[in-house]
Amino acid sequence: MSESKFEKLEKELLLDRRNGFEKTEHKENEAAFKFSEDYKKFLSECKTERECAFYFEEEAKKNGFKELGEYKTLLPGDKFYIKNTEKAILIGVLGEKAISEGVCCIAAHIDSPRLDLKPNPLYEDSDIAYFKTHYYGGIKKFQWLTIPLAIHGVIVKKDGEKVRITIGEDENDPVFCISDILPHLGNAQMSGEARKIIPGEKLNVIIGSVPVDDEKVSKKVKLNVMMLLNEKYGITEKDFVSADIEVVPAYKARDIGIDRSLVGSYGHDDRVCAYTAFKAILEANAPQKTAICYLVDKEETGSSDSTGMQSAFFGNIVALLAKMTDENYDDVTARKALMNSECLSADVTAAYDPNFAEVFEANNSTYLNGGVALMKYSGARGKSGTSEAQAEFVEKITSKLTKNGVIWQVGELGKVDEGGGGTVAQFFAILGMNVIDCGVPLLSMHSPFEIASKFDIYMAYKAYLTFLR
Ligand code: MN
Ligand code: MN
């Protein structure tokens, strides 16, 4: 049957809001499913920012990237990386054009919401030993009760030796847990406000319950736990002070759905964008402008840290690259470079959830399987605190994506005045760069088991590759 006049006009005049699967070939969908296999492995193995930065460093090395310090001179096509301590990493490929003409940067964050151990975490109450935690990032605290937890981190001992700890990931490892009250005694708890169901100071992780056999010792269970930790890691209680230890869900990433179209995991936010951006830079051979993939820490707490996006690290590295490659380098070269640069702020957004339709505006939401999600602006209450991508830049990006067969969609986080949030986009805007948020929509964002679509993950990767080339 031939197309009717109005069918034709519909295609010409209206935005195509079909499910992404209906817009692409079968081959493309197969590639999308395959792409997530390695991603799931990465998610299951890398649950802290240090583990992510280390993973990306090792993979970069395997793919011919060298530490920036190893280069005396940089030539177009040269692949480099530089770490900001152990918690952030910048990976790049030098372009044909001068740095002063700008770089193309994709930025994602590798920290995720979790529970951090307090500096003095170990205590005993009623013959049970616990770790005290301070939650990190925006969580619904009650979601962290009664799930298996693992402990990841580093402890720096007084001789400077760094001890790396992972307990709860191996099948033979024990796991840890925060208890909840049984429903039979939960009347008071269940009639309260959700945010008060579990106060932050009750996020105490059970560590052990066997006492040492000595009446003269006052904290018998605590001592036994410390003896076991000392035996295994050579640490004493004092060493917790100089430690970064994180409590995270102990399970692996899994396929969700009988059609296996979705991935359920801890830490999609924002490792899904970090992983896809990294995969893109591995293939950004000989770009016109220098391609950069910057994977940062501390986004979940406002980026205000030396390893977060507000630190001078990014600007300093762009200046260093300019200095290494420009014989006419002077004190404005680096600033010019930043003003001419463009950025995709690669971060997740909320996917429309029919179970909670009341907080979304259907016309301006992003959907599972709708492709990579663009957000022109974020913020809250009258776009407060947002950086908004300019119309010219949005057009440039969307045209490029469409031309290269990337399925994309555009939306806001939720209904006006329903809430809101921000990303690292604003910190690139401060540098004078054009920037837009571009990432993967999630269900159950910031929960211990977030859901992403394999199709959208693959489209994010394709979008990032298109942007860098
Ligand atoms: Mn995020
Ligand atoms: Mn987040």
pLDDT at 1 over 80: no
Mean pLDDT along residues 307-331: 95
Q: If you measure from the C-alpha of residue 8 to the centroid of ligand 1, how many angstroms do you get, rounded to a whole number? A: 39
How many angstroms does the Cα of residue 48 sit away from the middle of ligand 2?
A: 14
277 close to 284: Cβ distance less than 8 angstroms: no
List Cβ neighbours of 299 (8 Å cut-off, separation of 6 or more): 109, 111, 270, 308, 309, 347, 423, 424
Compute, in angstroms, the gap from residue 400 CA to the centroid of ligand 2.
27
DSSP letters spanning 429-461: HTTT-EEEEEE-EEBSTTSSSEEEEHHHHHHHH
CB atoms within 10 A of CB 58: 10
List pLDDT tens digits, range 242-261.
999 999 999 999 999 999 99
Q: Cα(113) to centroid of ligand 2, in Å?
A: 7
Does 4 have pLDDT greater than 80?
Answer: yes
> Quick check: 365 pLDDT over 90?
yes
End-to-end CA distance of the chain: 40
Residue 423 Cα to ligand 2 midpoint, Å, equals 8
Q: Which residue has the tokens 């947002």?
A: 386
Quote the ligand 2 centre to 464 CA distance (angstroms): 20
268 pLDDT more than 90: yes
- 270 C-alpha vs ligand 2 centroid, how far in Å? 7
Interval between CA 327 and ligand 1 midpoint (Å): 39
* pLDDT classification of 366: cutoffs 50, 70, 90: very high
- Rounded to the nearest angstrom, the distance between the alpha carbon of 422 and the centre of ligand 1 is 8
Burial of 310 (0-12, 13-18, 19+ CB in 10 A): middle
DSSP 213: S
d(C-alpha 159, C-alpha 156), whole Å: 8
pLDDT at 399 over 90: yes
Whether the per-residue pLDDT at 432 is higher than 80: the answer is yes
Q: Are 138 and 113 spatial neighbours (Cβ–Cβ below 8 Å)?
A: yes
Q: How much is the mean pLDDT over the chain?
A: 96
Label residue 380 by pLDDT band (50, 70, 90): confident
Q: Which residues pair with 197 in a beta bridge?
A: none
Q: Which domains does the chain have, with CATH numbers?
A: 5-112+266-468 (3.40.630.10), 114-249 (2.30.250.10)
Q: What is the pLDDT of residue 467?
A: 97
Q: What average pLDDT score do residues 373-398 get?
A: 92
User: What integer is the mean pLDDT of 157-170?
Assistant: 95
Per-residue pLDDT, 420 = 83
Structure tokens at 47: 């649950």
What would you report as the CA-atom Rg of the chain, rounded to the nearest whole angstrom? 24
Q: What pLDDT does 195 receive? A: 87
Ligand nearest to the CA of 110: 1
Determine the distance separating the centroid of ligand 2 and the alpha carbon of 442, expressed in angstroms.
11
pLDDT at 451: 98
Q: How far apart are CA 193 and CA 188, in angstroms?
A: 10
Residue 26 has pLDDT above 90, yes or no: no
Q: For residues 155 and 163, is the Cβ–Cβ distance under 8 A?
A: yes
Q: What is the Å distance from ligand 1's center to 272 Cα?
A: 10
pLDDT at 2 over 90: no
Tokens of 63: 């793919």
- Report the separation in Å between the CA atom of 202 and the middle of ligand 1, taken as the mean of its atom positions: 26
Residue 138: CB atoms within 10 A of its CB come to 11
Cα(375) to centroid of ligand 2, in Å?
A: 15
pLDDT reading at 283 higher than 90: yes
Structure tokens belonging to residue 3:
């197309």
> Residue 265 Cα, ligand 2 centroid: separation in angstroms?
14
Of 158, 157, 178, 154, nearest to 166 by C-alpha is 154
Ligand 1 centre from 358 Cα, in Å?
A: 23
- Rounded distance between C-alpha atoms, residue 453 and residue 240, angstroms: 39
**Nearest ligand, CA of residue 441?**
1
- Chain centroid to CA 402: 26
The pLDDT tens digits of the residues spanning 330-353 come to 989 999 999 999 999 999 999 999
Instruction: Give the pTM.
Output: 0.97
| Residue, of 226 and 195, whose pLDDT is higher | 226
- Does the pLDDT at position 385 exceed 90? no
Let me know: does 416 contact 361? Beta carbons within 8 Å.
yes
CA 132 to chain centre: 25
Tell me the two tokens of residue 117.
């151990």
